[in-house]
Amino acid sequence: MAGPGIMIPALSDTTARRMTRAKERYSFAEVVDKVRNGPPPVSIYALPKLGAQFNTAEYFVHHEDVRRAQPTWDVRTLPADQQNGLWKTVRLSSKTMNRKSPSGLVLKLPDGTTSVAKRPTELGSVTVTGQPSELVLFCFGRQQVADVELDGEAEAMEQLRNASFGV
């Protein structure tokens, strides 16, 4: 398993070696086939409910990475059930993903619903408001392309915009 090295810096060399080996071993078509067939049984992503939520967010973010890398892109309007699923996921994962946040972090939906991702620090707290899909992007470290509004002290907001997030 190479996954732990993504979340645990001390294991990053192991992850890098295993990723290099996988690139040498599998063709692009084989990798696509592996993704198409789902995660291995021993993966957290294989757990029925939890895995589905994390997979959805992961695939959403990488899909948006490709879309938003284009010179002209716009924010997509997703169906309510997809937004609700992404909201559930970001609420579950934000505390872990945003643990390196320089300030406190409150996620807020346009309807006023909130979730505390990190308690206030010396810098205070910043409220990030947007659709669940955009909050997911923000929490996955895509602050520069996430369509959100930040509210807080200027220094805290600036540091948050440039913070390194994700697992």
Q: What is the pLDDT of residue 153?
A: 94
Instruction: Answer for the pair 46, 34: CB distance below 8 angstroms, yes or no.
Output: no
Structure tokens at 92: 């579950």
* pLDDT in the model for residue 166: 57
Note the pLDDT tens digit of each residue in 83-117.
999 999 899 888 888 888 999 999 999 999 999 99
Say which CATH architecture domain 80-161 belongs to: 2-Layer Sandwich (3.30)
pLDDT score of 5 more than 70 = no
Q: What is the dihedral of CA 61, 78, 76, 63, to 10 degrees?
A: 20
CA distance 99 to 94: 8
Q: Three-state SS for 2? A: coil
pLDDT tens digits along 42-60: 877 777 777 777 778 888 9
Assess whether pLDDT exceeds 60 at residue 152: yes
The segment(s) of the chain belonging to CATH 3.30.1050 are 80-161
Phi, psi (degrees; rounded to nearest 5) at 102: -70, -20
Q: Of 16-20, 146-150, 161-165, which gets the smallest average pLDDT?
A: 16-20
Residue 82, Cβ density class (10 Å: 0-12 exposed, 13-18 middle, ≥19 buried): middle
Average pLDDT, the chain: 87
Of residues 40 and 71, more confidence is placed in 71
CB 146 within 8 A of CB 130: yes
Report, as an integer, the average pLDDT of 11-16: 78
Amino acid 121: pLDDT = 93
User: Residue 164 has what pLDDT?
Assistant: 86
Q: How many CA atoms lie within 13 A of 6 on its CB side?
A: 10
Average pLDDT estimate for 147-164: 94
Strands 114-118 and 125-129, bridge-based pairing: unpaired
More reliable by pLDDT, 53 or 143: 143
What's the pLDDT at 10?
74
Q: How many angstroms separate the CA atoms of 117 and 139, rounded?
A: 9
* 167 has pLDDT over 60: no
Q: Does pTM surpass 0.85?
A: no
